Structure 1
Amino acid sequence: MKKLFLLLLNSILFCTCYAQEHNMSANYVSPTDVVVQDKLENWQKLKFGLFMHWGTYSQWGVVESWSICPEDESWTQRKGPYGADYNTYVKAYENLQTTFNPVKFDPDKWVKAAKYAGMKYVVFTTKHHDGFSMFDTKQTDYKITDPKTPFSSNPKANITKEIFKAFSKENFMIGAYFSKPDWHSKNYWWPYFPAKDRNVNYDPAKHPDQWQKFKDFSYNQIGELMTDYGRVDILWMDGGWVRPKNTIDTTVDWQKAITFNQDIDMPRIAEMARKKQPGLIMVDRTVAGPYENYATPEQQVPEKPLDHPWESCITMGNSWSYVPGDKYKSANEIVTLLIKIVSRGGNLLMNIGPGPDGDWDPVAYSRLQQIGSWIKVNGEGIYNSTAVAPYSEGNTYYTKADKSNIIYAFVTSDKDEVVLPANIKLHLQDINQVTNITLLGSGKKVKWTSNKSTINISVPAEVQTRNGLTQAAVFKIQY
């Protein structure tokens, strides 16, 4: 009966939870620490990473955290039998802790699929805005390892530690997503006042003792993640409204609504975190300055290359977290996204939301398998590459092998099977002499003519169709 009830509840609560977009900050500040610089340079070569949003909210299949936020936004809507009354809803939401039991959780299975797909780093939500910790924090009992949580008796109950350990074994870079706001903390949403919006519900300047407790709480939780969870390469901090007031960008609508100075003392956090994890890349999203080591355009691809490190974080489905029946992007769409992003000098952080049982949708595994098959043939044009003018023209995108006279031309397709035209014209600058052109994954030779700015490739008839290529064809140009 309990399982039947949960199934019915999920069907009642189901909604299409489309992911939000997120603004980038301007005025990039380069890190001065040489160890950070080196790690950031290595991260830029990886190109393809895995993101995972997961928490108790997955049981209802609703948007992560936002349904308990008292704002009237399209993504904060409360559905189902508890939605008519805010306080009743929040109580039921927080009570999800007592039923969260993802018994199919197997991080080794995820690692295997992600590695085959060509992913090289992982970022996991250790804590989202709702404050539920997916790690064994000592700062709160609202966590995966508390006795109130059924999964706490499982040998793999410390989910963050298990994920980091499994991915570290396969040499992935490890990223800890951490929400700066914590809507469960009595020192952020102080029960003395009602919560009004996503921001702290009191003026920290009027109640400095209360705010100091919250700063210490955040510092201590980050300290735990930096101490007890093996090597951590990236601290990926979300919730950009928690920021010094003098950093607010009034040209951005959501930042206009930040009323109070919410400075949590990033210099103190950074000093501690980098002492424990030398070279740690810090990503204080949208807060321009020394602690936003790379930019994170969300659900979008910049129009042109940026002059600083960046990563597009994009969902494989429509939602960041698990939603029953979510519509996943095709392998063709994902490969095209990867090519576009890499051609502009960025990384793709692709999100998959685990379900309440602790596993991914079978469709996600299928997509990763298809992507991996493409990567095995064409990955040399993706990894350790840099952007090269003109970056793209039509459905053709370019990358350059770092410190080498090799350029890759990716000809994308609008369907899985690649059909090539008889002639392909490429406009590349300052190439004095082309010495060889090969079509990756094909044993057939191609002919070409070239001058200083144009390359004309003749594609044999037998290679134009039935070439066995999928998603995108890649020409390797040596000069």
Structure 2
Amino acid sequence: MKVKILIFFFAVLFFNSVNAQQNDIMPQSTHYEAPTDPLVKQKLDNWQDKKFGMIIHWGLYAVPGIIESWSICSEDWIERDTTISYDDYKKWYWDFSKQFNPTKFNPEQWAKAGKSAGMKYLVFTTKHHDGFAMFDTKESDFSIAKGPFANNAKADVAKYVFDAFRKEGFMIGAYFSKPDWHSQYYWWQKYATADRNNNYDIRKYPWRWNKFKDFTYNQIGELMHNYGSVDILWLDGGWVRPLETVNAEVLSWGANIPKWSQDIDMPKIATMARKAQPGLIIVDRTVHGPYENYQTPEQKIPETQLDYPWESCMTLGGAWGFVKNDSYKPASEVIHKLAEIVAKGGSLLLGVGPKPDGTFPEEVLTKLNDIGKWTSVNGKAIYNTRITKNYNSNQTWFTQSKDGKKLYAIYCVKSDEKSPNAISWTGNSPKKGTDVILISTGEKVKWKDVDGKTTVQLKGNVNQPALAFEFTPQG
């Protein structure tokens, strides 16, 4: 018992010490290849209308309330209690599969909270790197549907999550980790698990790697065939890739790169997945080419506007999953990031983690509701928009309607700034003789334009984290 308590204590310390390093584990790609399949292009255009999504990390790591999966990986940046053996730690972690019993599992609460925030699409972690499946896979007994939750009517968790979000009108995305640290076909117990990569030479044991390829193909096949309509297959673990695609960017992650190819045959997987789900968007993160249909910079926003599909995946708190006493971002900060991201051509995928009982923390519900107070009345400047060439002027971000007939200006009010009586921006001047509308109220505001500087006058206090305006552009 003392050993378990010590492990738990140092696991919490581990979260605090490595969370910042974990944030940029998957940086933005440097190359984009547009899809050619008309159905994929159509669905991708539909996804680009959504702008705001929710990514949910939920798994074994929720039980002790620590960072997702990474604590069982043996790399230099990961710290654990030096008096506890690595094997004992892994056993302690794996054993949470015998305790994970989310009897208050409430995906309807999650979906309603996401809808209230103004979110339009979901990415749910069906399996993280630790290999614990949050769906009823036939390929492994290491799943939520095989432990103490097995007899619950909602034991096939992913099914009920997807159903709940579909009912609220969300596009559905399935997160799936390509590496599987619990599988003997990836981390073979014959050898030590030195790092995130598979721990045996594939060239010596091709039969074992072929077993892993079949295992991966079959699990993705289950998700594509057994869970209704799926719009996005969101693949994580970009180090699992053909050796020829390893470049300086991958090497910069600081992970060791084996001399063999961790190729799982993405063309075969994609063909199967799109046969089951026509038009499926595939996001093979950081693996440049035909299966990275949009890019996913993590915990950051690109410095400049990008003219191809991308999303910033960011956490609402300090962690992807549930961590006790986490510190959450103010709603205003999320709204400001959303405005900047959309003006630069991206979408915001906001990360939240349910508690081990299957419900969202109250503070998460409050934050999402606060965000929704803004999106519900200002969404016209966010949803169904596209980029405009002049996209920023100090605190103001610009978007435009898909037909280009309307421009939107989103002025982000600083936290220490009093409600302004007037705001100004340069560039993107309204057309002479037309109206500028404060979107949240529908009111026409007085405005003037002098030498390309537009100033709008506001009536009384406008107590919002950001002010959005609609107008007809010049020319």
Match of 1:243 in 2: 241
CA contact 1:46–1:120 (8 Å) conserved in 2: yes
**Residues 1:299 and 1:269: Cα distance change in structure 2 (over 3 Å):** same
What is the Cα deviation at residue 107 of structure 1?
A: 0.5
* In 2: Cα distance, 1:232 partner to 1:244 partner: 26
Q: What SS class does the counterpart of residue 97 from structure 1 fall into?
A: helix
Instruction: Specify the alignment match of 2:110 in structure 1.
Output: 110
For residues 357-409 of structure 1, give each alpha carbon's deviation from its aligned partner in whole angstroms, at most 9, with x where no partner exists.
11111111001111111111100000010111321111111111110421111
Which 4+ runs in 1 deviate beyond 3 A? 5-13, 431-434, 442-445
Name the residue aligned to 2:467.
473
Could you say what the CA RMSD is over the residues aligned between the two structures, in angstroms? Answer: 2.1
Distance verdict in 2 for CA 1:351–1:374, change over 3 Å: same
What letter corresponds to residue 401 of structure 1 in structure 2?
Answer: S
SS at match of 1:150: coil
> Which whole-Å CA distance do the structure 1 matches of 2:323 and 2:423 have between them?
44
Q: Secondary structure at the match of 2:469?
A: strand
Name the aligned partner's letter for residue 217 of structure 1.
F
Structure 1 range deviating more: 7-16 or 104-113: 7-16
Q: Distance in 2 between matches of 1:54 and 1:77?
A: 22
**TM superposition shift of 1:8:** 9.7
| CA distance in structure 2 between the partners assigned to 1:72 and 1:8 by the alignment | 21
CA distance 1:85–1:196, change in 2 (3 Å): same
- Tell me which residue corresponds to 1:90: 90
Q: Does 1:257 align with 2:256?
A: yes
AA partner of residue 78 (structure 1) = R
For residues 226-237 of structure 1, the aligned pairs below 5 Å read 226-237=224-235
- Which segments of 5 or more consecutive residues in structure 1 lack a partner in the other structure? none
Partners of 2:178 and 2:255 lie apart in 1 by: 18
User: What does 1:354-369 correspond to in 2, within 5 Å?
Assistant: 354-369=354-369
Which residue of structure 2 aligns with residue 24 of structure 1?
Answer: 28
Which residue of structure 2 aligns with residue 188 of structure 1? 186
Q: State the distance in 2 between where 1:304 and 1:232 align.
A: 31
Is the partner of 2:84 in helix, strand or coil? coil
Q: 1:423 to 1:93 in 2, by over 3 A?
A: closer
Give the equivalent residue in structure 1 for 2:157: 159
Cα distance, 1:421 vs. partner?
4.4
| Inter-partner Cα distance in structure 1 for 2:442 and 2:370 | 21
1:439 aligns with 2:438: yes
Contact 1:418-1:473 within 8 A present in 2 as well: no
**CA distance, structure 2, for counterparts of residue 333 and residue 47 of structure 1:** 16
1:196 is matched by which residue type in structure 2? A
On the 8 A contact 2:393/2:425 being kept in 1, the answer is no
SS at match of 2:400: strand
Distance 2:55 2:270 in 1: 23
**2:148 counterpart residue number:** 150
Q: Bigger shift: 413-422 or 156-165?
A: 413-422
Which residue does the alignment assign to 1:72?
76
C-alpha displacement at 1:237, in angstroms?
0.3
Match of 1:208 in 2: 206
Matched-pair contact (CA < 8 Å) for 2:406–2:472: yes
* 1:66-465 correspondence runs (5 A): 66-73=70-77, 76-78=78-80, 84-146=84-146, 149-252=147-250, 253-254=252-253, 257-259=256-258, 260-415=260-415, 419-428=419-428, 433=432, 435-442=434-441, 445-450=444-449, 454-460=452-458, 462-463=459-460
The answer as to whether partners of 2:294 and 2:311 remain within 8 angstroms in 1 is yes
**Secondary structure in 1 matching 2:448:** strand
Name stretches of at least 5 consecutive residues in structure 2 with no aligned partner: none
8 Å CA contact 1:10, 1:61 repeated in 2: no
- The answer on 1:48 being equivalent to 2:52 is yes
Question: Alpha-carbon deviations, 1:56-112, whole Å to 9, x = none?
Answer: 111111111111101121xx3335xx9721000111111110000111111111111
- The answer to whether the 8 A contact 2:437-2:470 is kept is yes
| Structure 1: distance between partners of 2:10 and 2:255 | 35
Aligned partners of 2:80, 2:131: CA distance in 1, in Å? 18
How far did 1:444 drift? 5.2
After TM superposition, the score normalised by the length of structure 1 is 0.92
Which deviates more from structure 2 when the two are superposed, residues 407-416 or residues 166-175?
407-416
CA offsets 1:209-268 (integer angstroms, 9 cap, x no match)? 111000000000000000100101000000001000000112441276211210000000
CA deviation vs aligned residue, 1:191-215 (integer Å, no higher than 9, x gap): 2211111101112122111110000
**Matched position secondary structure for 2:283:** strand
* Secondary structure in structure 1 of the residue aligned to 2:253: helix
With the length of structure 2 as denominator, give the TM-score of the two structures: 0.93
1:38 corresponds to: 42
Q: Alpha-carbon deviations, 1:137-186, whole Å to 9, x = none?
A: 0001011111xx11111111111111011111122110000000000000
Distance 1:416 1:276 in 2: 52
Partner of 2:23, secondary structure, is coil
What is the CA-CA distance between 1:441 and the residue it aligns to?
2.5
Determine what percentage of the aligned residue pairs are the same residue.
48
Q: How far apart, in 2, do the equivalents of 1:29 and 1:158 lie?
A: 35
Q: Deviations over 1:429-455 (max 9, x none)?
A: 7x654511011234654222237x724
C-alpha displacement at 1:458, in angstroms? 3.7
Q: Which amino acid aligns with 1:248?
A: V
* Count of aligned pairs: 464
